[in-house]
Amino acid sequence: MPDPIRLTLERDPAEVVKSQRGTHRIFIGMAAGVGKTYRALNELRERLERGEDALIGVLETHGRRETVAAAEGLPLFPRREIVRGGTTITELDVDGLMARKPYIVLIDELAHSNAPGSPNEKRWQDVEALRDAGIHVLSTMNVQHLESLNDTVARLTGVRVRERVPDHVLHDADELVLIDLPPEDLRERLRAGKIYAPEKVEQSLSNFFTLPNLTALREIALRHVAQAVEMEVPDGQPAAHEVVVVAIAAEETAARLIRRGGQLSERLHGELHVVTVRPERLGQEQSRLLDVCREITDALGGHFEVLERDKGIGAALVAYAGRVHATQIVMGETSRSRWAELLRGDIIKFVLRETRGVDVHVISRD
């Protein structure tokens, strides 16, 4: 297996000392089976041998022999039991770890959703709580679980990942360890039964673990992790002040627009603003969609705002873009009928006509 690629995100030493917050090292890869957990366990063992107070907080072996062997003999903190409807579920014991306060702890599968009744909804939130308590963390995740890549991965692989990690978690980490493996090597590991049970191998090879899918995911992992490091410049300031404004409506396509805008703002090292003009009538489903959009925007580290429609949608968008000094505007292809455009005007044409020095990106609805 190739050596991992270590990418350190620079942090202001004064801020680290001031906060006394635990550090976070993420082992990230393109897919299951590349060896993220195996590498993290080996590092935990090395730290234990150096005399550090190191524990496994939660480990998901999925029955993989190599992972089980790598964990043998390492101290494992007991999980918290949650009883629901006669069924006992176990999750990471955040409170217990904070009381025990080890120096460093391994938290596997960062994107995991906790069972109802847990202190936090997501495992990455557990990690943040541990870091706030001064505990250092090693964690693992696959790149397709990043919020901003959800639509890209779905388009490339045909698989919609439901458990997602906000991009700010990756950017707030102190070090990323990219576990890289050539796609054909990963397929060989799958054929050898090192990832899934034998009855799942052929289905996996012909579905998610196809050579084109893995090649695309590998490229995404390499580019995205390198990009995250490039964003961290020595003085902590963005390399260029770009402001990306994403204009959405309360529609199903809005989430895809926000993620596209998030990718653009990340590439440009800029700010992300997501805006919508208040509908004349806001139904229950529209309200739900806007709540989802606000959550996605927060996950991408952006600012969400609902604008008043005093002088029309186009005018509200142009005024906001001017107020925040937008350099990029992302809009979706119109869903209006031709008749509605004749009556109310084409919003995209209005924005193009009324803005200067701004790049306008129109995203297809397909």
pLDDT (tens digit per residue) in 78-124: 999 988 878 889 999 999 999 999 999 999 999 999 999 899 999 99
Instruction: Evaluate if residue 258 carries a pLDDT over 90.
Output: yes
Q: What is the mean pLDDT of the chain?
A: 85
Please give the Cα distance from 228 to 167 (Å, whole number): 9
d(CA 10, CA 323): 32
- pLDDT average, residue stretch 21-35: 93
Q: Would the pLDDT of 49 be above 90?
A: yes
Q: What is the mean pLDDT of residues 237-261?
A: 83
Instruction: Using the structure block, give the residue that is written with the tokens 């899934």.
Output: 196
| Owner of token pair 């193009």 | 352
Q: Number of C-alpha atoms within 13 angstroms, CB side, residue 180?
A: 19
For residue 174, give the 3-state DSSP assignment: coil
What does the pLDDT average to over 291-306? 93
Confidence of residue 236 (pLDDT cuts 50, 70, 90): very low
* Whole-prediction pTM: 0.67
Token pair belonging to 340:
């509605």
Distance CA 261, CA 227 (A): 16
> Measured between alpha carbons, how far is 165 from 145 in angstroms, rounded to an integer?
6
What confidence tens digit (pLDDT) does each residue in 67-88 have? 999 999 999 999 999 888 788 8
Of 109-113, 224-228, 250-254, the range with the lowest mean pLDDT is: 224-228
Query: Which domains does the chain carry?
Result: 5-230 (3.40.50.300), 243-363 (3.40.50.620)
- Asked whether the beta carbons of 123 and 114 are under 8 A apart, the reply is yes
What residue spans of 72-210 are helical by DSSP H? Answer: 94-100, 123-132, 150-157, 167-172, 183-191, 198-206
Q: Which three-class secondary structure string do you get for 216-250?
A: HHHHHHHHHHHHHHHCCCCCCCCCCCCEEEEEECC
Report the alpha-carbon distance of residue 145 to residue 294 in Å, rounded.
19
Kindly state the DSSP code that residue 196 receives in the 8-state scheme: S
Q: Do 213 and 157 form a contact (C-beta atoms < 8 A)?
A: yes
pLDDT at 104: 97
If one compares 247 and 359, the residue with the highest pLDDT of the two is 247
